[in-house]
Structure 1
Amino acid sequence: MNQPIGYWLKHLDGLIDAAFDRVITEDGLTRRHWQALNAPASTTPSIMSDLEARGWAARGQLTPEGEKVRAALLRRVEGIRGTLMSGLSSEDYEHTVRVLSHMANNLQRVSP
């Protein structure tokens, strides 16, 4: 606990990325694919083309198969979130996010 906040932020970010990558890459996907399955309308053309080639999207919308894949991935992602939040309340999480957001806003105000 003696490390500064920057250490913990980077360390946690790396752990989240690694856990996320483990569950997403099981199906040969990337985080971009996961994001695209959650917001197909704002997806880059190359990722959308890949989703369409897999039969998971058509004309910028998820197909029924795409919805099934998204639901399966969501269960895995929720497992990561559950592990991350183990021993913490939703209030702890919300407070942490508020504090980090406030710190970021403080620095953004003084950054050129």
Structure 2
Amino acid sequence: MQDRARTVRARYAEVEASAYGRSWTTEEIMLGFLGDVGDLAKLVQGKAGVRPREDLDEALAHELADCLWSVLTLADAYDVDLAGAFTSTMDELDAVLAED
């Protein structure tokens, strides 16, 4: 997934450079992610019956994938080993839960 996200980000950077004279900064990518999270929140409301729509399941899957892409892209930008960080974080959470 990381390689695919990196490839798509590189293609977006080319489009951005052509359209705006530069590619997006990490801050702008983060702002885009925030917008995607807002869209995801509306779709979660839809699943709860508050914001119904015809293509809810497809839209939810799409928005979750958009959010994942943003996380992968930000991790890549900051040289975070996301797989390693995920594993260690889950290990920490498992340890905390084992104490309860």
Report which of the two has the higher share of helix: 2
Provide the TM-score with structure 1 as the length reference. Answer: 0.39
Of structures 1 and 2, the one scoring higher in RCO (CA 8 A, sep 6+) is 2
Provide the TM-score with structure 2 as the length reference. Answer: 0.42
